[in-house]
Amino acid sequence: MPGGFEVNALFDRLPLADVRQDVTRNIVSPRQSQDIFDDLTDDPAEWLLAQKVEDEVKPPLYRSRLPIIHRPFEDAEWFNAIAWPFKHWQASRFSDGSYGVWYGSDTVETTVCESAYHWYRGLLSDAGYEREAVIVERKVYQVACNAAVLDFRQTTADYPELLHPAEYAFPHTVGARIHREGHPGLLIQSVRRPEGENVAVFHPGVLSNPRLNCQLTYRIEGDRIRVEKNPGTVWLSLDVANFS
C-alpha cells in the first residue's frame, strides 16, 4: 500500500472537475410504506388524524432556503436522498466510519451495479442466508450536485488501490485527508461498472433538489439478480458470479 509520500504525490497531481449536474442516488425504500399508526387503529381516517397531530408538534428535519415555496414532503425527500449518510456514519470505500460520505453515480445502471453488489455481499455475510429467493425494494433519486471536486479518474492507473474490489485501507487514507482538508468531494470510476463513474461527497451543502427518478425491485433468482422497474418485468439482470 502506498505510504504518506505517495499519497502526497497523488494529491499534488489531482485536477479539479466542475460537477454541475444531477447525480443518481439509490437507497433502500419500499414501494408502498406501511403506516406507522396502523397498530393503534384499523381506521385509515384515524391514521391521517394521528399523522396530522404528529406533523403539528414535530420540528421539521429540513427547512427550504426559499420558505415561500416550502412543501412538507421536502423533509422526507431531502433526508432520505441527501442527509442520511451525514447523520448515520458508516464505513465505506472513502470513510472508516468516523465521518459520513454520500455516494452517487452518473446513471441508474451504475448505481444499480454498485448497490446490488453491496446488498448481495451483505446477504452472504448473514448466517441465515441460504440462497433462497430474497427481494428488496429501492428508490432512485436524482440529486443536483454543484461543486468543484477532486478528479481521480486519470490517476487510478498509477494507484489501483483506489479501485480495489474489497480492500479499502488506501481509500480510507485518501478519504480522511479529503475530510480533514474540507474538500467537497471527489469523482472516480465505478468499481462495479467500469464504464460508469461515481461521486463521493463529503459536504451536504453541495447537494440539493432531490427528485424521485424511479422505484426498483431487486430479486435473487438462482445465480442472478433480476432488477425490475415495473413489478414483474425484468429491466436488468446481473450475474452474482461477478460479485466475488
Q: Looking at residue 45, what is its pLDDT?
A: 60
Q: How many domains, in total, are found in the chain?
A: 1
Contact 39, 47 (CB under 8 A): no
Q: Among candidates 25, 77, 81, which has minimal Cα distance to 199?
A: 25
The Cβ-side half-sphere exposure at 216, using a 13 Å CA radius, reads 26
Which region holds residue 222: left if phi is over 0, alpha if psi is between -120 and 50, else beta? left
Contact 85, 102 (CB under 8 A): yes
Average pLDDT across the chain, whole number: 86
Contact 32, 198 (CB under 8 A): no
Q: Compute the distance between CA of residue 43 and CA of residue 46 in angstroms, rounded to an integer.
A: 5
Per-residue pLDDT tens for 9-52? 999 999 999 999 999 999 998 765 554 545 566 665 664 565 55
- pLDDT higher than threshold 70 for residue 67: no
Return the bridge partners of 238, or none.
225
Per-residue pLDDT tens for 152-188? 999 999 999 999 999 999 999 999 999 999 999 999 9
Q: Looking at residue 77, what is its pLDDT?
A: 83
Q: Among candidates 188, 113, 186, 138, which has minimal Cα distance to 26?
A: 138
Residue ranges making up the domain that contains 164: 4-243
Q: Looking at residue 133, what is its pLDDT?
A: 74
Q: Looking at residue 35, what is its pLDDT?
A: 47
